[in-house]
Chain A
Amino acid sequence: MKLLEHEAKALFRSRGVPVPPTGGVIKTLGRLSGALKRAGKGPWVLKAQVLAGGRGKAGGVKLAKNASEAKAAAKAILGMRLISPQTGPQGVLVHEVLVDKATDIARELYLSIVLDRREGRPVVMASAEGGMEIEQLAREKPGAILREPVSPARGIDDFQARRMGFALRLTAEQVTSFVKMVRALTRLFIDYDASLVEVNPLVVTKKGELIALDAKMSTDDNALFRHPDLASRDDIEAGALEKQAKKVGISYIELDGSIGCMVNGAGLAMATMDTVSLAGGRPANFLDVGGGANADQVTRAFQIILKDKRVKAVLVNIFGGIMKCTTIADGVLQAVKKVHLNVPLIVRLEGTQVAEAKAILDKSGLPMIQADSLWDAAQKAVKAASEAPR
């Protein structure tokens, strides 16, 4: 789960990591003057609270020298549709603005803790090149990134953070605060089962203080059971259909094509999307019905897929593993009878008793197109979708 900047900053503050003085988050212009007062004397920075990166360039971050500039900035940001490379062409609607006191910047650094998948442990990364996207930095100047492994049990040792601090050319006094900050953020990462804690930029002010100017944090969905505070929080990133699917154990991600896909297993679901595209179509979604592809679950999956009005054909691709194909065929039939299916249905089953299953589907008299392989199914689905009335 991804946290918004102001949520991450609140966690930073609770761990003693310096962040800019803030007036908090506002949702309406009427709250602006109170927020400016709380943040202290101007200038201020107003920042759109959305999960996507690239906010600055997209017009979601504005500096305001006085109250009237702040008002103009808040007006421009609140309710804007922020479009950045990370949001996709439709962008995201901005509901909240964070009002922070502006910071005098002498230097911008980069600091993050991420999961090093290859080594199987977290790693602290830092660089003197702050403000730049770390991915770009990794491509262009891989040597400019410092790395220190984190023990998932012990965290990080002070000497590791100190080594980084001196390599970043911080003064001895700054290194002391840097070590404290790295230790606190590493602890935060571990305590919250994070998958990312990022400070970009970490600034050195003109007075020589270190301040986390931005904060990005995401946590491991698998660990939500031990973080009730996070689990009860609304998942901003997921769409309405995605949330509805999640509740019934279906993993669903909305895409922008016209062929609805219902598949068992995440890998096969991805491969089904790929095959649809290889056949010249565009998948409307990723959908994994979960292990037990029974009548109830298949019905729920149909209901979710059909809520997307762009869907012009539905492709069902189920590999009957331990569950027999005949059981799955019965389930599909029950589901089709229950939902009002108004688009062509293409079914590809594979596995044990597939011949009997095909006979069951044939005999049902319900309109559906059967396929022998995934490739066959994808081609038939693309054809059916292109012939469907608009």
Chain B
Amino acid sequence: MSILVNSDSRVVVQGLTGATGSFHAQQCMAYGTRVVAGVTPGKGGTRHLDVPVFDTVVDAVRAACANVSLIFVPPPFAADAILEAADAGVALVVCITEGVPVLDMARVRARLREMNAAGNPVRLIGPNCPGVITPGQCKLGIMPGYIHKPGSVGVVSRSGTLTYEAVWQLTSHGFGQSTAVGIGGDPIAGTGFTDVLALFEKDPETNAVVMIGEIGGSAEEEAARFFKKKMSKPVFSFIAGKMAPPGRRMGHAGAIIEGGSGTHAAKTQALQAAGITVIENLSQIGETVAKHGKELVA
């Protein structure tokens, strides 16, 4: 099973002809992802990386039956690209772009909420994220494919390289992943921890979840509440930023302790109180899952 993407996903890459889009689309294709089209306004009718390029997403959906979009367009145009994909009927939109203005994302959230209410649900992952991968089936993003292997641990994370670190440790300890989802490091994300935990809870092929959080906001606290009420599968968590000074943005736009909220201590406390195993030492993710979760994950 897996969640969000699999070998049937038909991907349109928005910003395919740009340097970043081009490079990563090639990597995705090499992994086996079915990239069926690209979109670059003004370059419709051409071909790039051996797939057709369209001027609009709706053309790509009609002509190439794309059902998933992967976005690499620059920050000033990213929100518009997301809305274009949503409007074209793409059910899953993954936005890799870093640096999208927060109010642009607020507008996107408002529109997606309206579409959802009108019965046209669109799931957005990101922005400012590494993407989503279902090992062995579909790599939709910028993560290195080779560190993953198919298996039954779900991974969800606000950070790119920390996800790679966690995945690599899991793989090295013999635990494959059902799907690894990077939800991104921005203050407003399309999809939060709670949404992804709900998907993993429902997925019969996921037996345990590793959740990588960081300081700032309250997504981890919300996840703790959700876990306590609705989840039967074990969750292991690591929270980055214990040493981060308050009031400073730690690289990610969303990683900031504001007015004493969003601290490492508060998150750890909420997760532990809910029954989630919190791993303090990043290097011990693999062995902690091995110790606690062997029978569940085997």
CB within 8 Å of B: which residues of A?
86, 88, 115, 117-118, 120-122, 133-135, 151-153, 190, 193, 195, 220-223, 225-226, 251, 253, 255, 263-271, 273-278, 283, 286, 288, 319-322, 350-352, 373-376
Contact = CB atoms under 8 A, between A and B. Distances in A.
Nearest to A267: B159
B81 to A, nearest CB: 15
Nearest to A227: B101
Interface stretch (B39-47, B61-69, B211-219, B228-236): B211-219
Interface string B98-113: 0111111111011000
A286 B280 CA distance: 19
Interface size class of B (residues with CB under 8 A): 35 or more
B162 A152 contact: no
25 contacts: A120-B188, A135-B260, A152-B106, A220-B103, A222-B253, A223-B102, A225-B75, A265-B161, A265-B251, A266-B159, A266-B185, A266-B250, A267-B157, A267-B212, A271-B165, A274-B282, A276-B243, A278-B281, A286-B244, A286-B250, A322-B144, A350-B168, A352-B144, A373-B283, A375-B283
Interface in B155-184: 157-165, 168
Given A118-B218, A351-B168, A267 B102 contact: no
A190 B212 CA distance: 32
B11 to A, nearest CB: 18
A250 B165 CA distance: 21
Contacts of A88: 245
Contacts of A322: 27, 142, 144
A266 B255 contact: yes
Contacts of B27: 322
A376 B214 CA distance: 22
B261 A135 contact: yes
B251 A117 contact: no
Nearest to B213: A267
B110 A115 contact: no
A275 B162 contact: no
A269 B282 contact: no
Interface string B223-252: 000000000000000101111110111111
A351 B144 CA distance: 9
From A115, A120, A122, name the one whose CB has the most chain B CB atoms within 10 angstroms: A120
B161 A222 contact: no
Nearest to B186: A222
Q: State the 7 A-B residue pairs at the shortest beta-carbon distance, nearest first.
A: A267-B159, A266-B251, A265-B161, A267-B162, A375-B283, A223-B101, A120-B109
